[in-house]
Amino acid sequence: MGEIDFGSIDVGYEIPKLEVTLDQMMQWMYAGASLDFNPIHVDKEFGEKVGLGGTIAHGLSNMARMGKCITDWVEDPGALKKLKVRFSSPARPGDTVTFWGKVKEKKEEEGGKILVLEVGAFNQEGAQILTNGEAVVEIE
């Protein structure tokens, strides 16, 4: 998008969505990076045995993708000052998850221009993966 023009962004503005199709390799890689080898994320047979129908994605991996959606838009990872979400439903290998954000507040504070976004994610069936999300972005 290039540099964001604070003046031209209104409440209700929707940032570009990020769509990601998950696969098991992503889960294994995230497990290695996070050192979270809980078998519900890495062992399909275990996930089936405990009633999950297979493995489920790490909630924090989806939160990280939400952060990527925002920082891709602002083109500055340092602009993201706050991100919170509720992990509402599991995402699984084969799911296509869409991450979205919409400006819900815009304000100028001492030293910065702030955009507050409502954020979330859903899968190809419309199941809400991340809900009650909020991000705070400071732009120049």
In the chain, domain spans: 9-22+57-139
pLDDT digits (tens, 9 = 90+) for 5-54: 888 999 999 999 999 999 999 999 999 999 999 999 999 999 999 999 99
Average pLDDT over residues 87-110: 96
CA-based angle 82:16:14, to the nearest 5? 75
pTM surpassing 0.85?
yes
Tell which phi-psi region holds residue 135, choosing left (phi > 0), alpha (psi between -120 and 50) or beta. Answer: beta
CB atoms within 10 A of CB 86: 12
Q: Measure the CA–CA gap between 83 and 63, rounded to whole angstroms.
A: 8
pLDDT at residue 1, as a whole number: 44
CATH architecture of residue range(s) 9-22+57-139: Roll (3.10)
Closest CA to 32 of 66, 67, 24: 24
pLDDT of 2 reads: 54
